[in-house]
Amino acid sequence: MKFYDIFSKKGTYVDEKPLIRIDHREKSSSVIAELLLKPVKLHFEQLPIADYIIRDIAIERKTVSDLKSSIINRRIFDQINNLKQYEKHLLILEGIIEEDVYSRGLHENAFRGFLLSLALEHGVHIIFTHDYKDTAKYLCILALKKDKSSPAPLRPKPLLISKHQQMQFILEGFPGIGPATAHKLLSRFKSLKEIFLASEEDLRSVIGKKTDAFVRILNS
């Protein structure tokens, strides 16, 4: 069966559906149900990197709640560095409009700071989608779009997100702990372990009134 090439100036037809390779763990997502209605071919496999691969483009899909959890437990750092092994890569952040991003489990400055860091310091392109239907549309259009460049090989890259940045993100997840306060704590105590083991008196000498809420979380 032939399909109309919407990106061709001459309006030509292509003979085969474009392929989207999908990690098998995405099989139960609502995105797949939408993609089944599109003129694309789906192939499920165990992908070592990313959730979707379209030609030479690696795509990681996260809902807002997924991303917040990944920042807190630090899985996102390995995922992003793995993703960057592909020269062309995207992070799709789904549900950015409908969900209350800056609440429940992660300080708003930590979330905003992380997104800015990905875009400006690490060159990760972020696509914000409304919902799973919007995500499927983006994937479909990307698959149908003709790419004149040749596939780029995997190129392992060194870890780009430092341990200091990881510790900074974790501390900013505590209530009342913004970037400046997190920096003060790390400058004084040097590591998360030393911060968490510090006496209340020592903490208060660095972060003042914020100590009460910080200690309350540590002891909960």
Q: What is the pLDDT of residues 63-94, one digit of tens each?
A: 888 888 888 888 888 888 888 889 899 999 99
Residue 12: pLDDT over 90: no
What would the DSSP string read from start to end of 161-205?
S-HHHHHHHHHTTSTT--HHHHHHHHHHH-SHHHHHHS-HHHHHH
Secondary structure (3-state) at 92: strand
108/157: higher pLDDT = 108
Q: Between residues 215 and 18, which one has the greater pLDDT?
A: 18
Higher pLDDT, 207 or 104: 207
pLDDT surpasses 70 at 162? yes
For the record, the structure tokens of 52 come out as 């979707």
The secondary structure of residue 67, as a DSSP letter, is: H
Fold that domain 163-219 belongs to in CATH? DNA polymerase; domain 1 (1.10.150)
pLDDT top residue among 120 and 3:
120
Provide the pLDDT for residue 159: 45
Report helix, strand and coil shares of the chain as percent, to nearest 5.
Answer: 45, 15, 40
What is the model's pLDDT at position 34? 94
Query: Is pLDDT larger for residue 59 or for residue 180?
Result: 59
Q: How confident is the model at residue 160 (pLDDT cuts 50, 70, 90)?
A: low
Q: Give the domain ranges of the chain.
A: 3-144, 163-219
| Residue 7 confidence (pLDDT) above 80 | no
Q: What interhelical angle do 64-73 and 75-83 show, nearest 10?
A: 110
Residues 6 or more apart from 3 whose CB is under 8 A from it? Answer: 13, 14, 17, 39
- CATH code for the domain defined by 3-144: 3.40.50.10130
Judged on CB neighbours under 10 Å (0-12, 13-18, 19+), 174 is buried
Backbone CA torsion sign across 81, 51, 57, 114: negative
